[in-house]
Structure 1
Amino acid sequence: MSQLKTLMKEGVWGNNPALVQLLGLCPLLAVSSTVTNALGLGIATLLVLVGSNVTVSLVREWVPKEIRIPVFVMIIAAFVTIIQLLMNAYTFGLYQSLGIFIPLIVTNCAIIGRAEAFASKNNALLSAWDGIMMGLGFAMVLLVLGAMREVLGQGTLFDGANLLLGEWATLLRIELFTFDSQFLVAILPPGAFLGLGLLIAGKNVIDEQIKAKAVTVDTPEKAPRARVTNLT
């Protein structure tokens, strides 16, 4: 249980692939203009992470070290193809919106990195849990960044949710305020870079505060010295 808790903490916060490792930033910055796009890519990445981690863990004993990276890439590509076909069949609107960034999941360094650094050295259960936590951490950053950009750029939340969840999801669209014209800086790539920078800065501030509190708690207070005067 302690190892599962450690993997959860590392994936979601301590070693988050987007905020700490800074991996997979190309799709993160490119498609996080709305919450719907962010959620779609986050779910796709999470599923590929879990599937590839489990498969790599199961076949690790039979893969020679010399060709392990090409084999890992082929495994990842197989799962990406499955996800791509499913999205094309059931969420075609979102599939068109995400475009080239769905097949580019194959080259996501976060997925290849976890296959090499963790799944190839651990059993299937731990590898699956690691994939879930790393994928969840990546998806959370995508969602927060997508929400920031959508609110600032369009004044809405969950715009286009029907592309992912079906026609009923049009009810989820929330219009917080209206613009005469969209705030393009938030929607375009510069807004993605600025938003991610703010998220990284916020995480660093929180980490420093946690570290400072831990130091304060661990440091015992020194007992006051009593002066003894010899009266004889």
Structure 2
Amino acid sequence: MSENSKIFKDGLWEQNVVFAQMLALCPTMAVTTSGTNGLGMGLASTAVLVVANILVSLIRKTVSSQVRIPVFVVLIATLVTIVDMAINAWLHELYKVLGLFIALIVVNCAILGRAEAFAVKNGVVASALDGIAMGLGFTGALTVIGLIREFLGAGTLFAQASQLLGPSFAFLEVKVAGYGGALLMILPPGAFAVLGFLLAGKRIIDQKLAERSVPAAQPATA
């Protein structure tokens, strides 16, 4: 497996921010009441993650280890402020829904964690790819959880996508006729239940893959 392929495999599956590292659970629980909210939050976090990784990789040899963490935090806070202002300006409806959780990207352990664990040790291209992979993995996790909760709780998929993300996303909106949904899935207990089942599913899949990768024992020869 090439290095780039490994980076994407780690970000999307092996070291998925939510399903493997169990990070960023606060926005995962709070904003995934719909697939649209999860997608919007994930893309905002991805933008910060990619740019933060690139900038950290660029300055990694000029920042001393004594002040490395404070510098990274200030850098991430600056990027989050820019993203927050951009969403407020161009996607105001989404901004009103996500609210405080956009600003809380600053304290998302996944952002600082990738800067410290990967970007500070690798070049710009690899760091950018790591940011993209981790961001897409995080976005996918939020979107999947949001879609499951939304479908079971309201009988819709990507509700208000055209209003929150823009008219070009209208094709994503789906409404299941005759199903009103179960309110419990939209509430916090629903988030914990969906996350728990998805974590269990990932563990089962990982176990099956591990069993397949182990070669069958060769029969003993006389």
Correspondence 1:27-106 to 2 at 5 A: 27-106=27-106
Q: Which has the larger radius of gyration?
A: 1
Output the amino acid matched with 1:142: L
Contact 1:154/1:178 (CA < 8 Å) preserved in 2? no
Correspondence 1:69-218 to 2 at 5 A: 69-167=69-167, 169-179=169-179, 182-215=181-214, 218=215
Q: Give the distance between the partners of 1:163 and 1:121, measured in 2 at CA.
A: 41
Q: Give the distance between the partners of 2:168 and 2:15, measured in 1 at CA.
A: 37
Residue 179 of structure 1, CA deviation: 4.3
Aligned residues: 222
User: Percent of counterpart pairs with the same letter?
Assistant: 48
Contact 1:42/1:135 (CA < 8 Å) preserved in 2? yes
- Out of 193, 218, 221, the residue aligned to residue 221 of structure 1 is 218
Q: TM-score, normalised by structure 2?
A: 0.95
Residue 79 of structure 1, CA deviation: 1.0
Secondary structure, counterpart of 1:61 in structure 2: coil
Contact 2:94/2:165 (CA < 8 Å) preserved in 1? no
Give the equivalent residue in structure 2 for 1:13. 13
Q: Deviations over 1:138-170 (max 9, x none)?
A: 111111101100000000011010233324544
Going from structure 1 to structure 2, the CA distance change for 1:131 and 1:222 (only over 3 Å counts) comes to same
Q: Give the distance between the partners of 2:91 and 2:54, measured in 1 at CA.
A: 26
The runs of 5 or more residues in structure 2 that have no matched partner are none
Contact 2:40/2:165 (CA < 8 Å) preserved in 1? no
Q: Give the distance between the partners of 1:2 and 1:163, measured in 2 at CA.
A: 41
Output the amino acid matched with 2:182: F
Going from structure 1 to structure 2, the CA distance change for 1:21 and 1:171 (only over 3 Å counts) comes to closer
Output the amino acid matched with 2:103: P
Output the amino acid matched with 2:65: K
Note the aligned Cα RMSD (angstroms).
Answer: 1.4
The runs of 5 or more residues in structure 1 that have no matched partner are 226-232
